[in-house]
Chains A and B, each alone.
Chain A
Amino acid sequence: MNSTESTDVLVIGSGFGGAIPAYHLAAGGARVVVLERGPWLSGDEFDQDFELGSSYTRIFDFVVGDGMSVLGGNCVGGGSVVYFATMPRAPRFVFERRGGIGRRMWPASINRDTLDPWYDRVTEALPVTRYGWDQVPYAGGLFAAACAHAGRTANPVPSAVDLDRCTNCNWMMAGCRYDAKRSLLLNYLPAALAHGAEIRPLHEVQHLSRTDDGGYRVHYRIVDDEDYRVLHDEGVIEAKIVIVAAGAGATPVILRRSEPDLGPMPPAVGRYFSGNGERLNTAVFDEDRVRSVLGLSRPGGQAYAANQIGRGPTVASWDRLDPDLPEFERYSLEQLYFPPGLGTILAQVPDATGPTWFGAEKKELMRRWQSWLTIFTMSEDDNEGVFGPPPATGNAERISQQMLGRGPLRYVPTADTRRGWAAADADVRDILERDGLARVMPWTNDVVGAYTVHPLASCRIGDDPETSALDDRHELRRHPGVFVTDGSAVPGALTVNPALTIAALAERAIPGIVRAAQERGVPVTYHGGLPEGSTVSARPPALRG
């Protein structure tokens, strides 16, 4: 006779929203199982290679929707393994945003002051550090110099990269084989393991159902480790508390697929999706002007030609994070690197006579790739993303063996969102085209729609049950015992990189989740400790019984 496996706390997903509760609940004495749909890679398994089937495609996820493509992690550690580790706090005004609903969208209990202590904790745990101009890669320096030339400010952005180990190889999206990037494999996840949590890779959760005693059954399928289109055995685990942290592109899909068993979801599940107002511009620099106008030169004589060198975004300009500007017109501009494979196709040719994003003129633009500088806008979008009916499994119909799929998200940018993008595009052009420094064009939205590496808000916290799926303790309305702690819980666009805010909110949610677990008879306490931190990324335990 098979008896169904059971645990106290079942965590879906192992990114920021999953790893942080997994650690605290395990440390507090609960039995914790983490189900993660992606594989578990670490250290030298992170390849510096673009070949299909290398870590780049195994741990990365690219879901094309209708008007919005979402990029994210697909591995133990989630987005923290593929991300760029740029970790600013969200500016104060963000928490006062009203968005399209005409009243404050954040819960009354949260503002920058009340979140700062939780930001402090994550900053210490990862850790996140400030660094100086002498550690800013050429691309960040070039952006800073252009900002200064235009009378603007620019800041090196705090980051979770250990610069003593970093080689500025810009392979961050394939995972960091030097363990310089302080992913969750170096802090919360090993600490959760040390406290007895189990992490099961290649387990994709499909839906939830209820047990007779008010707990939940979590239904999963095993994912083939090479061809993710192939699903193997299915299984079920019972839990008293379920933490859904599959990321803002997947969490609402799992919940919506559970409706036949669990009953209706709150109306905000799968609505109000935000792409963090993301928008990219590519500038192509005139190397001579970089030297003569900005006075920059590298050892060896080149002025810039260093697109490939660095570690993602390192410098941002925050001049438009001005609380006095109208909502939807505030944004940050951040220098960015996006590798080949995905990072050239959408760049457009200035003054094209033919097609802007392919063809002969585009090829000429590609010849100057090392003189490219990509600028990332994070603005205030209008939470206009809506998820359609869930696909058969997972959160996408997978097209390729790995990475590429087609998902049910629909996003039609409103006039407010487009106004912010237009203002930012004009600003980037104003800064970078001065005195013939560069030519600038935004990435086209005509090919795969808008795109985001910062999916947010598809199952958000709030005080109003109509426009928020979760209460301010992150508990899913109508479904007690289910908590959501990932990016989908963030109410809206943040105008800066979101991971520190996602993580701070997850930290903030823990005492409440611990209380809910206690009420359900789980012997767990909240200690408020932080992970020790390691210098070698966590590997799967050698053998599991």
Chain B
Amino acid sequence: MHADTSDADQVRVMTIEAFADTIVPGEKRWPEDRAVAGAAAGGGAVAAGALELLEHPASGYAAVLEPLAGALNAHASRYAQEQGHALDPSVPPFVALEHADRTRLLQELLAVDHPEKEMWVGLALFSNMAFDSAAHLGTHAALAAGHPGLLTIGYHRPDADGLWRFPEYSYGRPLAPLHPHTTSTGSPA
């Protein structure tokens, strides 16, 4: 899987993937996939490219992913200790957590009054954005490649020239009485 990368890289990649997978869960990419917990059918944020988006120079997150992964793993170790869970030492602590525990930990870190909330919100925002809009890819290319997020939300494909047009768009009839105090310009009085 990530065989050609260093240990630090692997920790970063797997930890951030596990975070993204908690935001938008997906099915495992291969049977022994650890980062992706397999908590939902179909591809989730990871398959959608969350890591690629976060590592994209334009996102502004590339340089902080390693420290964020470190901080998340520290929280995971602390959380596991509090819960009395023993963690598999062969993977980063956050990855070693079950999906339900990852979710509970993120609920804690993303809570309104958590002092670190803002940095985790940023990560969550980009994880979701990779899924719902494939912002690291051209939208046409993403649709053509069957991007799991755009597919899941059922985003329509464009016309042959790459542009979206919906010539049929209206029920075509009055559907409600107008407000009695509408002015001649169509505004409220």
A contact set with B: CB distance below 8 Å: 48-54, 57, 64, 88-92, 119, 123, 128, 130, 133-138, 141, 144-145, 147-148, 152-158, 167-171, 177, 229, 296, 298-300, 305-306, 308-310, 315, 317-319, 321, 332, 339-345, 354-355, 358-360, 362-364, 366-367, 369-370, 398-402, 404, 406, 446-448, 496
Contact = CB atoms under 8 A, between A and B. Distances in A.
Nearest to A87: B187
A48 B162 contact: yes
Given A134-B170, A158-B187, A363 B176 contact: no
Interface residue range, chain B: 35 or more
Contacts of B39: 360
Main secondary structure of the interface of B (DSSP, over half): loop
Interface in B103-153: 103, 106-107, 110-112, 118, 121-122, 124-125, 128-129, 131-140, 150, 152-153
Residue of A342, A359, A369, A446 with most partner-chain B CB within 10 A: A359
Contacts, number: 224
Interface string B159-189: 0001111111111111111111111011111
A168 B169 contact: yes
B87 to A, nearest CB: 21
Contacts of A343: 132
B154 A360 contact: no
Contacts of A364: 40
Given A144-B175, A147-B176, A153-B176, A447 B155 contact: no
Contacts of A447: 110, 121, 124
Contact of A156 (B23, B154, B186): B186
A49 B155 CA distance: 12
23 contacts: A52-B135, A88-B186, A133-B170, A137-B169, A138-B171, A145-B176, A147-B176, A153-B177, A157-B186, A168-B169, A169-B164, A169-B166, A309-B169, A315-B176, A321-B188, A339-B133, A344-B153, A354-B107, A360-B39, A366-B152, A401-B60, A446-B111, A447-B110
B163 A133 contact: no
Contact of B166 (A50, A167, A342): A167
B22 interface: yes
B88 to A, nearest CB: 22
A406 B168 CA distance: 41
Contact of A399 (B122, B128, B137): B122
A496 B188 contact: yes
A298 B172 CA distance: 10
Contacts of B156: 308
Given A309-B169, A360-B40, A148 B179 contact: no
A363 B44 contact: yes
A53 B182 CA distance: 42
A298 B168 contact: yes
Interface stretch (B4-12, B51-59, B65-73, B90-98): B51-59
A170 B169 CA distance: 11
Contacts of B53: 52
B22 A359 contact: yes
Contacts of B106: 355, 358
Interface of B: 22-25, 39-40, 44, 53, 56-61, 103, 106-107, 110-112, 118, 121-122, 124-125, 128-129, 131-140, 150, 152-156, 158, 162-183, 185-189
A494 to B, nearest CB: 10
Contact of A168 (B165, B186, B188): B165
B124 A358 contact: yes
A340 B124 contact: no
Contacts of A119: 185
B128 A345 contact: yes
Contacts of A156: 186
B176 A152 contact: yes
Contact of A52 (B59, B140, B171): B59
Given A52-B56, A136-B171, A342-B129, 10 more contacts: A88-B186, A152-B176, A155-B176, A168-B166, A170-B164, A321-B179, A355-B103, A359-B22, A369-B152, A399-B60
Nearest to A339: B133
A154 B175 contact: yes
Nearest to A50: B133
Q: Which 3 A-B pairs have the closest CB atoms?
A: A154-B176, A369-B153, A130-B186
A406 B164 CA distance: 33
B153 A51 contact: no
A169 B154 contact: no
Nearest to A67: B112
A318 B179 contact: yes
Contacts of A363: 24-25, 40, 44, 152
Contact of A144 (B122, B169, B176, B182): B176
A177 B158 CA distance: 14
B135 A123 contact: no
A497 B123 CA distance: 31
